[in-house]
Structure 1
Amino acid sequence: MPAPNVREKILVVASQLFASEGYSAVSMRRIATTVGMTQANLYYYFKDKEELIRSVLAFVFIGRSHSLAVALASGANAEERLEHAISWFVALLFEDGVLSKLFFRELLTDDKDRLKFLTQNIFQESFDTIIRIIDDYIDTPDPRLAAIYLTSTVIGYCQYSAIAIHLNGVTSEYFEQKTVAKHIMDQVRRFSKTASLL
C-alpha cells in the first residue's frame, strides 16, 4: 500500500500545477520532478495522467466539501443553514484559488465522462444537501431547479467579477465575500416560505 503522505504530496503539487497552468501544459515528468521523485515512481502511485487528474479533483473537492457539513451544523434553522451554505460556497470560489481554477476548468471542458464522474462522486452529496435546505426554506414547487439557480448565481457572480470590477460605479466592496453572500441571501429571503405568507 502506498504511503499516504507521498500520495498526498503528489496530489497537492499536481493540484497547484494543474490549477495554474492547465492539464495539457503539465507533464507527468514535471509533476514527478517537482515532487522530487522519478517519473517511474509517480506511475507507481497513478497509472496514467487521467487517473492523476481525477484523483486531484476528488482530493481538492471532497476535502473542501467536508467544511460544508461543519458550516451547516452551526445553523439552528433552515434560514441559517442556507445562509451558511451560501457563505461557504462564496468563500470557496472567491478565496480558494486552486479549487476555483480547477472548478472553472472543468466547467469549460469537453470531457463529459470526467464531468459525470465529478457530479456523481463529488458534487451530488453537497447538491442534495442544498436541495433539502431549500425545500425547508423556500416557497418553490421544484427545489432542484431552485438549487441549480442558486448555485449558478454564486458561480456566475464569481466568474463575472473579473469583468464587473471594471464597470463604472462598481466598487471592490461588491466582491467582498460577506457582501456577496449577504446580497444573495437577501434576494433568497424574498422567496422564503414565511415571506410568501405575508
Structure 2
Amino acid sequence: MSLTELATAHNHQRCTVAQNSVRLVTLLTFGPKETHALGQWIGARLPDDAVVGLDGTLGTGKTCFVQGLAHGLGVPADTHVTSPAYNLIQTYMIDQQKLTHIDFYRLPSLSVDDFMLFEEAFLGPRNIVVAEWASGFIENFAPEPLHIMISKEPEENTRRIKVSSSSSTYAQLLNKLSDYANIDN
C-alpha cells in the first residue's frame, strides 16, 4: 500500500506543527501493512548518512517499521530484516550504501567498549543508521537524528507514529510527509 493510498483510505487531514524549531508530523497506521508501508515511504526518501532514532514500548511495531524502511532503501524484499536485540548490530549492504540497524534495548548504559563499537557504526560515508530504543543513547552519536516514536492506540493494531527532527537535513522529508498526516499533533 502506498502512502497516497494510505491517506486516501483513511480520509487523512494535513497537519504539521513546529515547536521550538522541532518539526513534528503525526500519523496513525491501522495494521502492520500500513506501518511497513510508512517505513518504506520514509526509507525511500532518507538522505545519505541519515540517523534515525526509533522508540516505543515492546510490541509497538518498531521492527516492522524498520523492515519497511530497509525495503524502501533497497534491501531486497526477500531479505529477512530482524531486530538485532541479541547481537546489538545488524548490517545490510545496498549497492554502495550500508544500513546499520542497532538495538539498544539490552543496554542499561554504555561501557567504553560499547561506545567504541557503536561509534564505528555511525562512521563512514553513505551509512544510514537506524537505532531502536534510541532515547538516551543516540544523542551520544548524532545530535539531531530523525526521531520516530511509535505508540499503541486503544483500537486493535492501530499505532500513533510521531516523526520529528530539529535538523534541516530532514526538513524536506517532513514537509512531504506532512501532506499525508492524518491526526492533530
TM-score (norm 2): 0.26
Bigger Rg over Cα:
1
Q: Higher strand fraction: Structure 1 or Structure 2?
A: 2
Q: Higher helix fraction: Structure 1 or Structure 2?
A: 1
Of structures 1 and 2, the one scoring higher in RCO (CA 8 A, sep 6+) is 2
